[in-house]
Amino acid sequence: MITTAIRVARVGSAAELAAALLMIAGYPALMVAALVPSVPAFAAATAVTYLADHYLHRKGSYLINRLSKVRAGLSIRFLIRQLLLILLLARMSLSDNLVFYSATACFIAFYGLQAPHGALVTLIRNRRRMPVATRNVDLASRIRIPDAPPQGLLNRSAEKMLHIDLAAVVGILVSAVLDSALPGFIGCGVTLLVGGLYVLALMPYVRGGKTPPNAEKVLAAVDGWLHEYKPETVLYFSGSKDSVYQVNMWLETMEQLETRPLIILRERVILQNLAPTTVPVICVPGGVHLMNMDLSTVRVALYAANVGKNIHLLRVPTMKHVFIGHGDSDKLASVNPFSKVYDEVWTAGRAGRDRYAIADVGVLDADIAEVGRPQLAPIRTWEGVPEGRIPTVLYAPTWEGWDGDPGNTSIVLAGENIVKKLVKADPPVRVLYKPHPFTGTVSAEAGAAHRRLVALMEKAAAERATEARFTADEAVRTQAKAELARIEARVAVLVGSGGDKGDEADATRDGVVDVKKHEEIARLRNEWNDTYWRSFPAWEHRVISGAEPRLYDCFNVSDAMVSDISSVVSDFIASGKPYAVTDSAELGVEEFKRQNTAVRAATILSNSAAELGELLEAVRDRAADPLAEDRRELKQYLLGPDEPTSIEQFNTAVANLAIKAEARNVGQESRVAQVAEAEATAG
C-alpha cells in the first residue's frame, strides 16, 4: 500500500511521502489552532510545515514542483501561514496591540522585498546563461568571464528568501505568549533586515565587471576559436537527458579520429550530463546561432540520432553528412526513412546494408559504408567458463518503446519466467539483471514488472547466501571493498566533487580538460570495474542499475546473455558467447529468425522461457554448443571483419568522405567562377 502511495504521489521514498502528508495536514492544523486559538498548537503546526517543506525541497521532490500547478506553490504556502498568524492574533484579541500592526506591516513589506529579490535572481541567471556553452574550448584568453555569484545566493533562492520570515513568526508567537510587543518587534526587524541584505547582496552581480560579455562577443570569441582550431569532423547531437548515452558511446571514437574532431550539442542538459572527454565540445541551443557559426573547415558531420534539430546542420552544403546511429539492431529505428537525407549511412557490417535494401526506404546501396563498431573494442572474446566458477548469465532486456508493441521487450510477458528459471537452475548459475535505463518510462506495466524482477533477484540472492555450498572469502571481499572506497575517493578528488561548482559560464571558462587527470580517471575507472566484481562472491545474484558497471563490463564477466531485439544483442555477438533472445510477440522461431538477423545464431525463447535449458547446456559444455559456428559467421555479417580494426575502418571512411566533400567544394567554386566570368564577358 505504501509503495502504491509513493508511486501515485510521485515521491522517491516513504520518508518523502510522510513529509508530504505532514506538510499538507499542517495547514488545516494551523487554521484550527488559529481559530481556537492556541499558541502552542499553532507553533507546533508551524514547525511541522516549515520542516516538511524544507525537507521536500532539499530532496527535490516532484510533488513540491507540482503543487504550484494547483495554486499551492511555495510563495502561497508561506503567505497562508502568515495570514493565519494574523488571524491567531486577532482571535487572541490582540488586534489593537502594537504587535498586530507590526506583524501586518512586516509581512506586507517582506512580501514587497520578494519582487526585487526574484527579479535580481532571474536577471543574474539570464545574464550568466551563455548563448554558447563549451568544454575543452579556450575562451578565457579571448573574453573575460567573471566568477559566478556564491551558489549560496542563487541555489534554491526563493526558498531561502521566504524562510527569512521565520524570525518574524517566532518573535510574534513569543509576543503572543508573553503579552509583550518587544519580541515581535525584534523578530520583524530581523526578518526585514536580513531580507533587505539578501537583496543588496545580489545587486552587484547584475552590472559592471561581474556580468559575462553579451551574446555577440561570446559568439565572436567562439568563431575566433573555430577559425584557429579548424575542426574537420563534427559529431552532432540533439536529444533529452535520458538519451545522453547515445552520444556518450561515441566519445572515445571521436578521441581516436585522425582528423580534428568537434562535438556540437543542442541542449544544455546533454552538456551537463556528457561523459568526460578530451574532444572540444560546443553546446549551441539556438538554431540561428548555430547556422551563423563558422564551420567552413568541417568536411564530415556525424549524426547519432534522427531528430528534427538535425536540419540546422544538414542545411550546410560544404560538409558531407553521415548517419552513424547509436546502435545496430533489427528494430525499425535502424532503417528509419529519415536516413535518406544524409549523404551516407554507416553500418557496422553487411547486415546493416541488407536491412536498408530490404526495407526499401530510399537509402541507396551506394550511399552505405560498412565501418564496424569501434565501441566494441573493450568486449573480450569468450574462452569458456573458468575452472571452479559457476557460469554467469546476464539478463539485459530492452525497454518497452513508444508504440506499445509487445515484441519490444520481454520484461512484461517473459521476464519473471526467465529470472525464476535462471535462479533455480541446477547446476546453478549466477544471474546479473541489467535493465534498460528507459524501462518503465512509458508503460506502468513494464515498470511494475521491473520492480517484481528486482524483488525476485533480491530474494534469490538472500536465499543463496544461506546455502552451505556457497562460500565466500570474506577477507577478499573486505579488501576489495576497501579498494573500491579508495578508488572512488581518488576519482572524487580528480573530478572535483562537492564544493562550489559555479554555473554554466564558469564551466565554459574553466572547462578545459586536464589530459593527465582524464587519463588517470580512465585508469581508475578500469581498476574500479575489476575491483567491483571482486567485492562480492562470484555466485551472488546481482541487479546492475545505473551507469556503473557499464554494459560491456557486464558482457565481459558473463558467459551467456538473455535479451530482446536491440543493439545489445548485436554488440554481445562480438564476444562469441552463447545468447538467447525472447520472441515476446510469439512470431514463432522461423518467422522470428526471418525478421531479425541478430537472432539467427541465438536460442529462441518463448514467453514461458522453457527453452533456457538449451542455452545453459551450451554454456556448461562448449562441445554441446550447436550454434558456435553460426555465431562466428553471424558476428562477421553483423559487425564486419576483425581486421582491419573497426577504428581503422572508421577513420578510413571519414578520410574518404572528406575527400568527396573537398572535391564537391572545389567543383562548386569552379562553377561559380565560370558563371561570374561568363556574366562579366556578357556584360
Q: Mark whether 196 and 96 lie in a shared domain.
A: yes
Q: Check whether 266 has a pLDDT greater than 90.
A: yes
Mean pLDDT across the stretch 603-610? Answer: 95
**508 occurs within a structural domain:** no
| Residue 586 φ/ψ region, left for φ over 0, alpha for ψ in the -120 to 50 degree band, beta for the rest | left
Q: What was the pLDDT predicted at 147? A: 87
Q: How many Cβ atoms sit within 10 Å of the Cβ of residue 197?
A: 11
Q: How many CA atoms does the CB half-sphere of 4 hold within 13 Å?
A: 1
Q: pTM of this prediction?
A: 0.80
Q: Are residues 466 and 592 in the same domain?
A: yes
Residue 501: pLDDT over 90: no
CATH code for the domain in which residue 315 is found: 3.40.50.11820
Q: Are residues 574 and 445 in the same domain?
A: yes
Higher pLDDT, 208 or 172: 172
At 329, is the pLDDT very low, low, confident or very high (cuts 50, 70, 90)?
low
110 shares its domain with 171? yes
User: Does residue 344 surpass a pLDDT of 70?
Assistant: yes
How far apart are alpha carbons 342 and 668 in whole angstroms?
19
What pLDDT sits at residue 507? Answer: 86
Q: What is the pLDDT of residue 10?
A: 53
CATH value at residue 399: 3.40.50.2000
| pLDDT (tens digit per residue) in 444-456 | 899 999 999 999 9
Average pLDDT over residues 495-500: 54
Give domain status of residue 648, yes or no. no
Q: pLDDT > 70: what percent of the chain?
A: 96
Q: Residues near 59 by Cβ (< 8 Å), separated by ≥ 6?
A: 12, 16
Instruction: Please give the pLDDT value at position 334.
Output: 72
Q: Is residue 528 one of the residues assigned to a domain?
A: no
Q: Are 650 and 374 a contacting pair, CB within 8 Å?
A: yes
Comparing 238 with 548, which gets the higher pLDDT? 238
Q: What is the pLDDT of residue 6?
A: 46
In a domain, 646, yes or no: no
Same structural domain, 9 and 107: yes
Mean pLDDT of 544-564: 92
| Stretch 557-584: mean pLDDT | 93
Whether residues 19 and 65 fall in one domain: yes
Contact of 575 with 373, CB cutoff 8 Å: no
Mean pLDDT along residues 49-78: 81
330 and 406 belong to one structural domain: no
Nearest one of 278, 262, 281 to 515, comparing CA atoms: 278
User: What average pLDDT does this structure show over 594-620?
Assistant: 93
Q: Mean pLDDT across the chain, nearest whole number?
A: 89
Instruction: Give the tens place of pLDDT for each residue, 370-429.
Output: 999 998 999 998 888 888 889 999 999 998 887 777 788 999 999 999 999 999 999 999
Contact 77, 49 (CB under 8 A): yes
How much of the chain, in percent, has pLDDT values that exceed 90? 62
- First-residue to last-residue Cα distance in the chain: 86
Domain match, 265 and 313 both: yes
Q: Say if residue 273 is in the same domain as residue 148.
A: no
Identify the band that residue 498 occupies on the pLDDT scale cut at 50, 70 and 90.
very low
Peptide bond into 337 cis (omega under 30): no
- How sure is the predictor about 511, in pLDDT bands with cuts at 50, 70 and 90? confident
Q: How many CB atoms lie within 10 A of CB 420?
A: 14
Last-in-domain residue among 376, 401, 431: 376
Residues 185-214 have pLDDT tens digits of: 999 999 999 999 999 999 999 887 888 888
Residue 561 resides in a domain? yes
Contacts of residue 212, defined as CB under 8 A and 6 or more positions apart, other chains included, come to 127, 128, 130, 143, 145, 146, 218, 505
Once rounded to an integer, what is the mean pLDDT over residues 347-362? 88
pLDDT at res. 500: 47
97-106, 300-309, 503-512: range with lowest mean pLDDT? 503-512
**Whether residues 306 and 343 fall in one domain:** yes
Query: Who has greater pLDDT, 670 or 239?
Result: 239
Q: Indicate the number of domains in the chain.
A: 3
487 in any annotated domain: no
CB of 252 closer than 8 Å to CB of 650: no
Do 249 and 370 lie in one domain? The reply is yes
The set of cell numbers assigned to 551 is 554494459
Q: Report the interhelical angle of 98-128 vs 166-178 (nearest 10°).
A: 170
Query: What local confidence, expressed as pLDDT, does residue 324 receive?
Result: 94
Please determine, for residue 118, whether its predicted confidence score (pLDDT) is greater than 70.
yes
Domain identity same for 367 and 420? no
CB 411 within 8 A of CB 400: yes
498 located within any domain? no
Which domain-ending residue is among 163, 182, 210? 210
**Which residue segment(s) compose the domain that 183 sits in?**
2-131+144-210
Mean pLDDT, to the nearest integer, of 351-362? 87
Of 352, 376, 400, the last residue of a domain is: 376
273-277, 313-317, 328-332: least confidently modelled range: 328-332
For residue range 88-115, what is the model confidence (pLDDT) as tens digits?
999 999 988 899 999 999 999 999 999 9
Tell whether the model's pLDDT for residue 332 goes beyond 70. no
For the cut 60, the answer to whether the pLDDT of residue 73 exceeds it is yes
Average pLDDT over residues 472-494: 90
pLDDT at 683: 61
Q: Flag whether 660 is in a domain.
A: no
